[in-house]
Amino acid sequence: MEDQNKVTEEMNNKPTKGLRIAIIVLAALFVVGLIVFVSINLSITGYKNVAEKYDKAVKAGDFEKAYECLDVDDSVFLTKEAYSIRQSVIADVVQGISIQDTVEKIGKKAYDFILNRFANVNYKVLEANQDGDEAVVTFKLSPRYDMLSFLSENKTIKLKKCSHNHMGIFSNWKVVDDTVIAENIKLSVPNCKKAYIDGIEIPEEYLTGEENGMKIYVIPGLFTGSHVCTTTDDEVTFKNYNITAGRSNTEIIVKDVSLDEEQRQNVINASYDAFKAVIEAEARGAEFDEVASYFAPEYRRIEKAKYDEDKKSFYSAEEQTGITNVEINDVKGSIYNEAFTDGTLEVSVQLDYKDTNKGKINTYVLGVFEGTDDNHEITQVMRMQYLDGRWVVSSFGDNRIIDYQWFFGSR
C-alpha cells in the first residue's frame, strides 16, 4: 500500500514539474523577446543611429528615407517632394564641381564606382553628447578600403527629441539640419491678392500684417536655396521674383522697380554679351574660368556645373560628333521682370533669336555625317543682377543652343 501511495504521489507531481518547466521556458522567451524588441526600437530611434541613418540616406540618394529623419516644421513648403527635388539638384552640382579634381585623378568610371559604394562607409562615433532634448553626434566616416582613405571625413550632426515618443515608450529623435531648412523667414512682397512660393500659395495664417504697401508674411519653414515668389491681383497677370533662403530668421524684401529706357538697354546688352561669350567659350571647349567674370560670385559654382555639362554637346574629336559652329542673328531682347530681391536689383531678360548650327554625327554604322540645322526660333532666358556698378549673370537658364545638335545632310 505504501509503495502504491508513493507512485500515486509521483504521478501527481509530474504535471506540476512540467508546468514549472513550461513557465520557465515561456519566461525566458519573453525576456529574450523583450530584449530583441527594445534593441530593435533603440536601433530605430536612438539619436546616434538616426544620425547615421540620415547621413547614409543622403549619400545614397535615398531622399525619402533622409526626409523621414529630418525635424520638419509644420510648413506647407517643407514637403517630401520639394526636399527630393532640392537634394537632387544639389547632388548634381556637387558631383559636377567639388569633386572635379578627384574625377580627373582617378577616372570617371572609377569615381562612379566609389560614389555608388560610398553609402557603405564605416561610421565611428568620435563624440556623442545629449543635453536634455538636444544631442550632437560627431562621426568619422572612412571607406572600408585603405586605398580610398582620401575620401575620409568627419561629420557632425545635430538632433532634437520630438514631443511624441516612438510607440509611446522610446524617445523619438530627428535631425536638425539648418543648412537644409531655414525657419521663421520674414517675407515682404508688394501688395497683392495672392502670393506663391514655387507655385504653392502662401497660407493666409502666415500673413502677419501690411506696411507701406507691402504684405508681410512669416514662413515657419522653407528649404534653403533659391525659390520663385509669385504675386497676382487677378490670377491672369503674375509677377515673379527670385528669392533666396540662406538661413533661419532671414528677412527677404521684394519690391517692384522701374528701369528707364537706357537702363533697360544696358541690361539687355550685358545679357547678350554674356550669352555670346559663354556660347563661344563652350564651342572652343574653354574652361569656365574664361567666362567666370560674367557671373555673380555667389552663383559661379552652380553655373560652372551647367557650363561644363553644356560644353559636352559641342564637337568632340574623340566621338566625332556635336556642334562645330554656331551663327546667331535677328536677336531681340526684352525684360519681363524687374525687382529688388534680398536688397539686390535683379532683372530677368529674354533673348529671342535665330541660330544656324553646323555639326557632325558619327552613326558608328554609316560613318560620320556633316550637316546644318538652321533658322531655329530660340528663346534664351537669363537672370541678371546689378552688382558693384555693373550687370552680371545670376542664372543662365537652360542653354537652348545645345537642344539642336543633330544634323542631316550628305558626307
Tens digit of each residue's pLDDT (9 = 90 or more) over 307-321: 988 888 787 777 788
For 126, list phi and psi in degrees, rounded to 5: -85, -35
What are the Cα distances from residue 285, in Å, to 99, 289, 305, 405? 20, 12, 14, 16
Q: Which of 13-22, 149-158, 176-185, 391-400 has the lowest mean pLDDT?
A: 13-22
Least confident of 181-195, 244-258, 365-379: 365-379
Q: What is the DSSP letter of 203?
A: P
Q: Residue 335 carries which side chain, given as an amino acid letter? A: I
Residues 48-75 have pLDDT tens digits of 888 888 888 887 778 888 898 888 877 8
| Rounded CA separation 63/85 (Å) | 9
Q: Are strands 214-223 and 322-341 parallel, antiparallel or unpaired?
A: unpaired
Q: How does residue 21 score in pLDDT terms, banded at 50, 70 and 90?
A: low
Chain Cα centroid distance, residue 343: 24
Host H or E run for residue 340: strand 322-341
Place of cell 537644409: 180
Q: Cα torsion for 285, 289, 291, 293, to the nearest 10°? A: 180
CA 193 to chain centre: 31
Q: How far apart are CA 393 and CA 272, in angstroms?
A: 11
- Determine the Cα–Cα distance for residues 269 and 332; give it in Å rounded to an integer: 10
Where does residue 343 fall: left (phi above 0), alpha (psi -120 to 50 degrees), or beta otherwise? left
More confident residue, 221 or 410: 221
Tell me the β-bridge partners of 320.
none
In the predicted model, is pLDDT for residue 201 greater than 70? yes
Phi, psi of 398 (to 5 degrees): -75, 130
Cell of 159: 538632433
Q: What does the pLDDT look like over 88-102, one tens digit per residue?
A: 655 443 333 333 443
- How far is it, in rounded angstroms, from Cα 332 to Cα 337? 16
Total Cβ atoms within 10 A of residue 322: 21
Is the full-model pTM beyond 0.85? no
pLDDT band (50, 70, 90) for residue 1: low
**What 3-state DSSP class applies to 237?**
coil
Angstrom CA distances, 361 to 261, 285, 410, stand at 45, 18, 11
Q: Three-state SS for 76?
A: coil
Per DSSP bridges, beta strands 368-387 and 390-395 are antiparallel
Q: What confidence score (pLDDT) does residue 292 get?
A: 95
Residue 31 predicted with pLDDT over 80: no
